[in-house]
Amino acid sequence: MSSAESQIGTGTLGLEDAEPDGSRPVIRGPILRQLLAVLVGVLVGMVLVDQLVVWWDIDQEGDDENRPIMQHEHIGWVNRPHFVNPEFETELDRFGLRNPEIPEDCPPDEVRLVGFGASRTFGAGGAMQSWCWNYALEELLAGRGFRVLNGGVSGYSLLQSCRRAEAYLDPLEPDLVFVVASPGAQLMLDSSLARRWVRAGDDSDEMIPADVVEGWPEALVPLVIDAHRYLNSVSGIYRRHRAKFQTGGNRVASVQRWMVSRDEPSEVAAQMLSATLDEAQALGAACAERGIELRILVLPEIWQDSAVTWRSFLRRNQQAGAPPVDTPRREPTTVLEELLQERGLATWNFFDEVDRMGRDRERFVMGDNHHWSKAGHEVIARGIVERLREEGLLQSLRERRAAAPRTRPFGENPFPDTGADGSRTP
């Protein structure tokens, strides 16, 4: 069809402005009908892709009831109790911890160690459950009456880890709590908007991510919540975007690749760091009150594990808040340790262990170039045993527990499973 033949909708309607080129007015009906046909087609096409995504996601990850994490008002998210993923041997216990269930008839004088932290504690990047350092540590301490629990949750900041650890102190009655802290920006992710929640209504238990409703006029908020709820329940694309947003957070650019160092932090970073250290100090006080030992395991970031990687990290991230390019590789862990110690917290620095791993990454680091392999987790476990020995904790913890055995195997889970969409807090 030639251009002239396909020209549609010319004719006279009247009441129009005169065009400078003197052409006849356009009859708009057929044009608008075509445009509407295109729009309807676009919507149909998008819905088709969207439903394909819904089908694909259910096929790949299972439905809502089997998602590994649940939203939480104060912590952002927590592991779902009893979550199972055979691909990585993952079988979380009744508390959402990545270890075998604590038996009802466990010895009342068993010494209980619990590690809290993010993905390197939980064991991510394809690490099997039995590869994680809590398993390796329990194996190294086998026959001495120790149980080691894995309280890691992927993506956690130090603030989240501390808050979660505090909630488990009474139900688990641990003897020693480890909290893993690294000096990078993940240390203080918690201020992200996506990690704050608001109640859907005054009388409602339902939690809605704060960023969904922020910025909207009060009168429109119920409508926005309804739209969010609806899209979240039917649209695969919407859910993926929400998930991306929540995972990535929205840290300001100046702290995207920030690390603790002797360099003065920006105002934003200083506020976030201070809130994080306050939380760690609160956990320290809660542990001290209960007679529980607390050690903060200061682990370097993966890009501190060799001189080349460190230089490259500093160089490429100057625009994203990284410390100055001449910062010594050990400095971030040393400074973080000092900051924690200033708050009265005991620390163990694992720089040397991670440095050793950096010399043979293929062996100690998973293919994602970030998380540890089985051998990497074993290095950490051995490092912990060495320090337990050095401080005489192997003996003293057993003696203290023997003198005051537990009266119950465990208490209530502070984070029970909260339903299909995981949006209700207890």
Partner 1 sequence: MNFHSVGFLAFLAIVVLLFWALANRRELRLTMLFAASLVFYGSYEAWYLSLILFSTLLDYWCGAQIHRAAQADDSRRKRRYLLISLVGNLGVLGFFKYTDWIVESVQLLCTTLGLEVDLWAARTSLLPAGLLDSNFGRIIVPVGISFYTFQTLSYTIDIYRGVLAPAKNLRDFGLFVAFFPQLVAGPIVRAIDFLPQLELRPRFDRQRLREGLWRMVTGLLKKVAIADILGAYLVDPVYNSPGDYSWVVHLLAVYGFAFQIYYDFSGYSDIAIGAAKLLGFDLPENFDLPYRSRSVREFWRRWHISLSTWVRDYIYFPLGGSRGSEWRVARNLLITMLVIGVWHGASILWVIYGLMQGLSMIGERFFERLRGGRPWATTRAKSAVSWFLTFNFTALTCMFVRALDADQILGVATEFGDGALGAIGEWGWWALIGGALLHWYPPAITEAVRRAFHRAPTPVVGIITGLAAGCVAVLVVGETPYIYFQF
| One of 90, 254, 281, 334 touching partner 1 (CB under 8 A) | 254
| Residue 270 near partner 1 by CB under 8 A | no
- Element at 349 (helix H, strand E): strand 347-349
| Residue 20 near partner 1 by CB under 8 A | yes
| Residue 38 near partner 1 by CB under 8 A | yes
| Torsion (CA) 42, 211, 120, 294 in degrees, nearest 10 | -170
- Residue 258 is classified by DSSP as -
- 294 strand-pairing partners: 177
| One of 252, 282, 285, 375 touching partner 1 (CB under 8 A) | 252
Locus of tokens 């104060």: 74
| Residue 271 near partner 1 by CB under 8 A | no
Determine the Cα–Cα distance for residues 202 and 377; give it in Å rounded to an integer: 46
Nearer to partner 1, 26 or 198 (CB): 26
| Smallest gap from residue 31 Cβ to partner 1 (A) | 5
- 112-135 in b/e form (b: 16+ CB < 10 A) is bbbbbbbbbbbbbbebebbbbbbb
Identify residues 315-344 at the interface with partner 1 (CB under 8 A). 315-316, 318-319, 321
Identify residues 39-68 at the interface with partner 1 (CB under 8 A). 39-50, 53
Q: Which stretch binds partner 1 (CB under 8 A): 94-102, 308-316, 338-346, 396-404?
A: 308-316
| One of 74, 144, 244, 356 touching partner 1 (CB under 8 A) | 244
Locus of tokens 């004088």: 109
| Smallest gap from residue 46 Cβ to partner 1 (A) | 4
Determine the Cα–Cα distance for residues 34 and 29; give it in Å rounded to an integer: 9
Determine the Cα–Cα distance for residues 352 and 363; give it in Å rounded to an integer: 16
The answer to whether the CB of 79 falls within 8 A of the CB of 155 is no
Binding site residues, partner 1, CB under 8 A: 1, 3, 6-9, 13, 15-21, 23, 25-26, 28, 31-32, 34-35, 37-50, 53, 237, 240-241, 244, 248, 252-254, 266, 303, 306, 308-309, 312-313, 315-316, 318-319, 321, 362, 369
